[in-house]
Amino acid sequence: MAIPPGVSAADFEAAISAFADVVGAEWVFTDEDTVDTYRDAYTPFRGEEEEKYASAAVAPTNVEQVQEIVRIANRYKIPLYVISTGRNLAYGGSAPVYSGSVVLDLKRMNRILEVNEDMAYALVEPGVSYFDLYRYIRERGMRLWIDCPDPGWGSLIGNALDRGAGRTPLPYRDHFGAHCGMEVVLPNGDLVRTGMGANPNAGPNWQAFPYGAGPLADGLFAQSNFGIVTKMGFWLLPEPEASMTGRIRARRHDDIVPLVRILSHLQYQGIVNCLFSLNSPVFQAPMDERKSALLDRPGGGSAAEWDAYAASLGVPFWQTELRFYGPTSVMDAQWAYVKERLRAIDSIELIDGNDVIRFPLTDDQIRRLGDPATFGVPSLNVFSGQAGTTGHLDASPMLPHSGEAVLRAHKVFLREYRDAGIPLMLGFAMSYHTRAFIMFHGVNLTTDPEWNRRARALYARLIEVAGEHGWGVYRAHTAFQDHLMRTYSFNDHALMRLNETLKDALDPNGILSAGRYGIWPKHLRGNRA
């Protein structure tokens, strides 16, 4: 049996036995085969020493058990690493940041505590997956949509705490942004509720008003290691009447500037509220000599040079699709207004979708959906077509809503991929959030250690380059979280000093998720990668 570093065999055995007293021996895992299931299936260190491992796992079924486990961990100084469903593939999966930690697996805490159809919210435990909540709502014929990421097997809580996102209208697709109220076990075992939940009489007000009174604590528990979230409320979208699309193409390099300005303002006004992806058939096409030469020109090539290159490929420079949700009369008016505004761009091509879909969908319609998450339907479709890789890393910077930034980012990141000799993966801006794009960049992993070494070097470089341009990456694989947090360095790393002050106050024994997002407990600060 592996033992956490710095813990004696006797203390570890005593802790394991105490965990078993709390949850039952069958829910404490120490055998290698089971502990192996907590490895990161997408590890960038496949077959290498740096891969991180758990020593054991413990799976409680209620809040009181979580509190007891935390008290035991404090007594024996056992490092814990908390997961909800542990599907955080591309960001570390269910493996700990600090090797040897005991995984605190909350999958068994999978109660849907409330779905309120009138007020359109759900209150759930950490083990509730998108599939679970979707099924619950559909079986009861409730006219509500969930918002899910591409893989439906993850949890609402784990995903939101890593600031994940989905595909239906704003604000629902920004999962942390659409939460309302948390219950948290602190590292000392205390139990707190945030927002209106701190009022013992709150009732449905807990999921109605996020702020309560005083400092808003919720943000402290996302991408951190300050507490274990045991309940969380989420706002849900009342089922729209229908949906339809319109497609947009623009021919020229510089068209992105007015295109972003117009679409973002329409989004701020609520006229466009779908997830849209700004694709560039030019930048996303495979690298060739002409493109490579353009990237090396001063400023990464002029607009005229790029336009000539695009014309030689015979593709538009930019294209996107907008989806509308609502009554057909409203959607028709929204699309008509979008077209009116976009006609200011003279190369614009606006194509009606003529594809109205009405809700609720039948089972047969659901089975035939190409992109179910767009309609709040969880699936695992995204995993088809991933042959030839063992996973990927995701290095996605946040860009402000500026066409100039989009152009600059394309050129900067394309050069990095080219120089690394690794093909661009994804490489487009998506409107997940209200005021910024996520510019998606992936780096494929394989079974070849030499490739993976280059993939890691590229990934680290993408994080640095994003930081240098002020585009900060929003989320990173656990092995690179120290690296990422070093880019958030204003005033000689004042933010990390604040995080460490909080860590020392809340978790003086440093038992919880050591190293998560670069926050190490005092005794392990030398561990920074």
Ligand X SMILES: Cc1cc2nc3c(=O)[nH]c(=O)nc-3n(C[C@H](O)[C@H](O)[C@H](O)COP(=O)(O)OP(=O)(O)OC[C@H]3O[C@@H](n4cnc5c(N)ncnc54)[C@H](O)[C@@H]3O)c2cc1C
Which active-site residues does the annotation give? 91, 474-475
String of contacts with ligand X for each residue 355-394, x by CB under 6 A: ---------------------------x------------
**Nearest-CA neighbor of 108 among 132, 141, 137, 134?**
132
**Nearest-CA neighbor of 365 among 354, 152, 237, 374?**
374
Sole binder of ligand X in the list 86, 246, 372, 510 (CB under 6 A)? 86
Sole binder of ligand X in the list 28, 59, 73, 83 (CB under 6 A)? 83
Length of the chain counted residue by residue: 529
Q: Which amino acid is at 361?
A: L
Pick 126 or 467: Cβ nearer ligand X = 126
Are 38 and 94 in contact, with CB atoms under 8 Å apart?
Answer: yes
Query: Which range binds ligand X by CB under 6 A, 17-25, 83-91, 187-195, 443-451?
Result: 83-91
Pick 90 or 439: Cβ nearer ligand X = 90
Rounded distance between C-alpha atoms, residue 493 and residue 69, angstroms: 33
What's the min distance (Å) between Cβ of 160 and ligand X?
8
What's the min distance (Å) between Cβ of 296 and ligand X?
33
Rounded distance between C-alpha atoms, residue 120 and residue 110, angstroms: 20
Give every CB contact of residue 502 below 8 A, 6+ residues apart in sequence.
220, 226
Q: Does 516 bind ligand X (CB under 6 A)?
A: yes
What's the min distance (Å) between Cβ of 68 and ligand X?
16
Are 145 and 165 in contact, with CB atoms under 8 Å apart?
Answer: no
Instruction: Say which DSSP state 155 is in.
Output: B
What's the min distance (Å) between Cβ of 157 and ligand X?
5
**Nearest-CA neighbor of 254 among 233, 292, 282, 295?**
282
Q: Where are the alpha helices (DSSP H) in 128-231?
A: 130-139, 156-161
Rounded distance between C-alpha atoms, residue 160 and residue 232, angstroms: 10
Pick 243 or 481: Cβ nearer ligand X = 481
Q: Which residue has the tokens 């069958």?
A: 26
Query: Which range binds ligand X by CB under 6 A, 77-85, 237-245, 413-421, 493-501?
Result: 77-85
Q: Does 122 bind ligand X (CB under 6 A)?
A: no
Query: Which range binds ligand X by CB under 6 A, 20-28, 84-92, 403-411, 455-463?
Result: 84-92
Pick 30 or 159: Cβ nearer ligand X = 159
* Rounded (5°) CA angle 84-89-92: 80
* Binding footprint of ligand X, residue count (CB under 6 A): 29
Q: Does 104 bind ligand X (CB under 6 A)?
A: no
Q: Does 30 bind ligand X (CB under 6 A)?
A: no
Pick 110 or 302: Cβ nearer ligand X = 110
Rounded distance between C-alpha atoms, residue 361 and residue 526, angstroms: 55
Rounded distance between C-alpha atoms, residue 406 and residue 416, angstroms: 16
Q: Does 158 bind ligand X (CB under 6 A)?
A: yes
Query: Which range binds ligand X by CB under 6 A, 4-12, 65-73, 82-90, 282-290?
Result: 82-90
Sole binder of ligand X in the list 58, 73, 106, 460 (CB under 6 A)? 106
String of contacts with ligand X for each residue 161-200, x by CB under 6 A: xx-xx-----------------------------------
Sole binder of ligand X in the list 55, 159, 264, 487 (CB under 6 A)? 159
Instruction: Say which DSSP state 151 is in.
Output: B
Number of continuous H segments (helices) and E segments (strands) in the chain:
14, 20
Rounded distance between C-alpha atoms, residue 208 and residue 331, angstroms: 28
Q: Does 58 bind ligand X (CB under 6 A)?
A: no
What's the min distance (Å) between Cβ of 114 and ligand X?
18
Q: Does 229 bind ligand X (CB under 6 A)?
A: yes
- Tell me how crowded residue 380 is: count the other CB atoms within 10 A of its CB: 12
Query: Which range binds ligand X by CB under 6 A, 114-122, 153-161, 489-497, 502-510?
Result: 153-161
**Nearest-CA neighbor of 162 among 97, 210, 80, 113?**
97
Pick 221 or 309: Cβ nearer ligand X = 221
Pick 102 or 342: Cβ nearer ligand X = 102
Q: What's the N-to-C CA distance of the chain in angstroms?
A: 26
Residues forming contacts to ligand X in the complex (CB under 6 A) are 82-90, 94, 106, 126, 149-151, 154-155, 157-159, 161-162, 164-165, 228-229, 382, 513, 516
